[in-house]
Amino acid sequence: MNGRDIFLGLSYINSRYIDEAERDTVCEHAKVPSGKQSTQQSPVKHSRFPRPLLIAALIAILLALVGCGIAAVIFGGDSIQEWFGFYWGEITGQYMGADQTAIINKLTQEIGVSDTDGDVTVTIDSATGSANMFYLLVRVEGYSFNKQYQYGFYQYGFNRIQCEIDTQMLPAKLRGGSRSIRYLGVNQDGAGLFLVILCYELSDMGADDLLEPLPMKLTLENLTRRINLKKNKPVKEGQWTFSFSLDRSEIPEKIALPDTLVGGFNEDTGESIPVLLRNIVLSNFDLRYTFDSPQGNITIYPNNSVLLKNGSCIQSWHGSGARSEDRLTFNCTSYWPIPLNIDDIASITIAGTEIKLSGGNTQIYPEPVQQNATTDQTDGNEQATTPVRNVLTDYYPRQLPEGYSVRDDALIDQSTWSILYRNETEDTVRFSISSQNVFTDAVLAPPVEEKCLSVSGHAATLQISGKGGQVLRWNNDTDGYYAALFTTDLQVDLIAIAESVTPETP
Amino acid sequence: MEDAKIVELFWARNEDAIKETDAVYGRKLNALAKKILLNLEDAEESVSDTYMETWKTIPPHRPKYFFAFLASICRHLSLNKLDWKMAAKRNAEVVCLTEEMQRCIPDTGYERAMEAKELGRILDGFLESLPKDSRLIFLRRYWYVDTIAEIAQRYGMTESKVKMQLSRTKEKLCTYLKKEEIYI
């Protein structure tokens, strides 16, 4: 191997890094005043400002960061507070101060629930978070973790993380969420430590301040180790299920910031235009704002960061965005990678525009929100709750062809969920479900044979390509979803898989 | 025209796809190819081949990052087209960069043959481990073949700071390659 090999190897890196290097910029604190800059050339003019759809860009960032366990860290602690202290040093290069530590401690709660499958015990040790975002420290005992894989790429994870939130405990409609896992290494006793990061989005941006505990069911399946970019190898099969409640009595600190003009662009014309951000709220966990886009064609690049008073710059680690129910505005959220003490923040930067924080920013003291769970009056004058199903998370194939297991699943946008299954020979089956959209993007190579049939009594279309590949699409109007199955494996019976798509039995 | 619409044109087998791609990204691709090949004519040929390869690849591909997709093809074709001996004689930037990369390889790594794709996956892990600023600067230098001055200008930094960042990142790369057992 020589230097040219590495140079050529760079041709095969993930496109997102290439894209990032083309359109992102360094943190503000890394820059120097313009007077000190290189003066040999005129400023580089970007011939075209990238204008991806906001949601697509945000979701892309979210998906790219899901499973970010490949970061090179060696963490030697055993508690979630120690983890945040360690991680703070990693991203700021400084020790965590007393006020920042106090915020972490204030937002941390013990969970202490365990489940054992075979000889492996998994414990949800503790959680840091509140409102709609939680970091969970997970400890795995009974498996011999190899310290060789503590650093770098070949790290441990779980094949599947499933999180079920009781939607009746939410004060507004659930419009999305994410969960990711990060391997932290082994503790002194040889137990593996993981950080599971959960967050959810509600249709009403102000509706997440519910003080009551949030019941949650978390399932982890099959301990895996990454063996290359695309493949995880199961190292211990098992299923560990936990039911617990997350305390939300510690309301995050929030401050309201003044409406601010930032640079945006009109997707239809490509023109750069000023965009007025409104309802800007900075909290320990995230940054939220809205802007008007009545035609749906106004967007801004979601490149957000905070500058701390000690000079450290922290980038948001992912974000999400969705139109309001009247479809006139965009509601956007960017999450911080670690809960932040607001008093330590000097300024925030949204889409390249800096907003300085002053003592005059309005502190928000949210009122507890009343639950609005659907209730039916029964004959006996008793109230009974009506089960509310989320088609995106509750409906998925219960029956898979032999040899296939979940490789990846992700929220594509606020109305679409996709699960990828793969077998040992790298054939794939992809299941996609949407509460709003018909699936039309899977196009097979001709010649294509098309059959009309039914899936559980609902009209369906099966297409089979003579060059390999099958697509099955159906619409279940009873339960309110569109679904599609795509596979490269002609031996797979897509009808059988589709017939098995049912909701979880309560 | 936005990326998604151009990709749709490719999927519809509409030859306007190439015209639109060239209108939006032609200059950037030409600049990238020219930095590698140091020859305008070869660069134009490389960009033209990039469009042809894109036409053959979409469908079935539907790239999420369209420019990155185009630029990857263009960089790859340009490097394949490069006459390395001639480039060395002309002291081309790309030759200096490969020499810098050479110094990141652990001593025993020269014996190891590795497919570029496999190496790409390892480099993905390395890039993920870097702070974002270092990653951006590293890629502008070694992927986009930008000069130090161009990077400094682009990010509003001094050239010495860019050099320092690159030097640290290269040290990290060497350590990373050791830890990933490239030297075996």
Bridge partner residues of A174 (DSSP): A202
Distance from CA of B41 to the nearest CA of A (A): 22
**A185-199, A265-279, A328-342, A461-475: range with lowest mean pLDDT:** A265-279
Is residue A263 within 8 A of residue A254, CB to CB? The reply is no
- Looking at residue A374, what is its pLDDT? 34
- Looking at residue A30, what is its pLDDT? 57
Cβ pair A31:B155 closer than 8 A = yes
Cβ pair B127:A13 closer than 8 A = yes
- Looking at residue A236, what is its pLDDT? 93
B5 burial (CB, 10 Å; 0-12 / 13-18 / 19+) is exposed
Read off φ and ψ for residue A454, nearest 5 degrees: -135, 150
Q: Which whole number is the average pLDDT over A394-409? A: 79
- Looking at residue B171, what is its pLDDT? 84
- Looking at residue B164, what is its pLDDT? 83
Is residue A298 within 8 A of residue A55, CB to CB? The reply is no
Q: Name the residue in chain B with its Cα closest to that of A39.
A: B153
Using an 8 Å CB-CB cutoff, list chain B residues near A5. 114, 116, 119
Distance from CA of B90 to the nearest CA of A (A): 17
Does the pLDDT of residue A129 top 60, yes or no?
A: yes
B64: tokens are 């999420």
Distance from CA of B164 to the nearest CA of A (A): 12
List the single residue in A6, A40, A315 with the smallest CB-CB distance to B101.
A6
Residue ranges in chain B assigned as alpha helix (H): 3-11, 16-37, 40-57, 66-81, 84-89, 93-102, 116-129, 132-142, 148-155, 159-179
User: Which carries the bigger pLDDT value, residue A397 or residue B116?
Assistant: A397
- Looking at residue A362, what is its pLDDT? 58
A9: tokens are 């190897």
Any CB–CB contact under 8 A between A274 and chain B?
no
Does the pLDDT of residue A118 top 80, yes or no?
A: yes
Is residue A180 within 8 A of residue A163, CB to CB? The reply is no
Distance from CA of A129 to the nearest CA of B (A): 25
Q: Looking at this protein, which amino acid is placed at residue A55?
A: I
Question: C-alpha angle with apex A160: A157 to A165, nearest 5 degrees?
Answer: 120
Does the pLDDT of residue A351 top 90, yes or no?
A: no
Using an 8 Å CB-CB cutoff, list chain A residues near B132. 20, 24, 26-27, 315
Distance from CA of B73 to the nearest CA of A (A): 8
Question: C-alpha angle with apex A281: A280 to A286, nearest 5 degrees?
Answer: 120
**ipTM score of the complex?**
0.87
Buried b (16+ CB within 10 A) or exposed e, A158-196: bbbbbbebebebbbbebbbbbbbbbbbbbbeeebbbbbb
Measured CA to CA, the distance from residue A492 to residue A473 in angstroms comes to 15
List the single residue in A4, A47, A152 with the smallest CB-CB distance to B98.
A4
Cβ pair A22:B144 closer than 8 A = yes
Segment A299-331, tens digit of pLDDT: 776 668 899 988 888 888 766 777 776 778 888
Tally Cβ neighbours within 10 Å of residue A309. Answer: 13
Rg (CA), chain A: 24
Q: Name the residue in chain B with its Cα closest to that of A59.
A: B64
For chain A positions 207-246, those within 8 Å of chain B (CB to CB) are 228-229
Read off φ and ψ for residue A93, nearest 5 degrees: 75, 15
Using an 8 Å CB-CB cutoff, list chain B residues near A24. 132, 136
Segment B77-121, tens digit of pLDDT: 888 888 777 776 666 777 778 877 777 776 554 445 556 777 888
Q: Name the residue in chain B with its Cα closest to that of A231.
A: B121
Any CB–CB contact under 8 A between A41 and chain B?
yes
Residue in the block written with tokens 């490789």: A407
The contacts of residue B15 (CB under 8 Å, 6+ apart) are none
User: Collapsing DSSP states into helix, strand and coil, what is residue B107?
Assistant: helix
Does the pLDDT of residue A193 top 80, yes or no?
A: yes
Residue A435, CB-side half-sphere exposure with 13 Å CA sphere: 15
Distance from CA of A63 to the nearest CA of B (A): 12
Distance from CA of B48 to the nearest CA of A (A): 18
For chain A positions 411-470, those within 8 Å of chain B (CB to CB) are 441, 443, 445
Is residue B61 within 8 A of residue B13, CB to CB? The reply is no
Does the pLDDT of residue A367 top 80, yes or no?
A: no
Q: Name the residue in chain B with its Cα closest to that of A42.
A: B153
Which residue numbers in chain B have pLDDT < 50? Answer: 109-111, 183-184
Using an 8 Å CB-CB cutoff, list chain A residues near B24. 48
Any CB–CB contact under 8 A between A31 and chain B?
yes
Cβ pair B180:A14 closer than 8 A = no
Q: Name the residue in chain A with its Cα closest to that of B117.
A: A12
Q: Which whole number is the average pLDDT over A379-388? A: 38
Residue ranges in A93-216 assigned as alpha helix (H): 98-106
Q: Is the pTM of this model over 0.90?
A: no
The one-character DSSP state at B79 is H
Q: Distance between the two ends of chain B, CA-based, in angstroms? A: 49
- Report the mean per-residue pLDDT for chain A: 75
A44: tokens are 């580089």
Confidence tier at A35 by pLDDT (50, 70, 90): very low
Short-list A285, A334, A350, A317, CA closest to A90: A317
User: Collapsing DSSP states into helix, strand and coil, what is residue A231?
Assistant: strand
Q: Name the residue in chain A with its Cα closest to that of B127.
A: A17
Confidence tier at A219 by pLDDT (50, 70, 90): very high
User: Collapsing DSSP states into helix, strand and coil, what is residue A53?
Assistant: coil
Measured CA to CA, the distance from residue A462 to residue B148 in angstroms comes to 55
User: Which carries the bigger pLDDT value, residue A248 or residue A376?
Assistant: A248
- Looking at residue A434, what is its pLDDT? 81
Prior bond to A339 cis, omega within 30?
no
Does the pLDDT of residue A119 top 70, yes or no?
A: yes
- Looking at residue A378, what is its pLDDT? 36
Cβ pair A229:B131 closer than 8 A = no
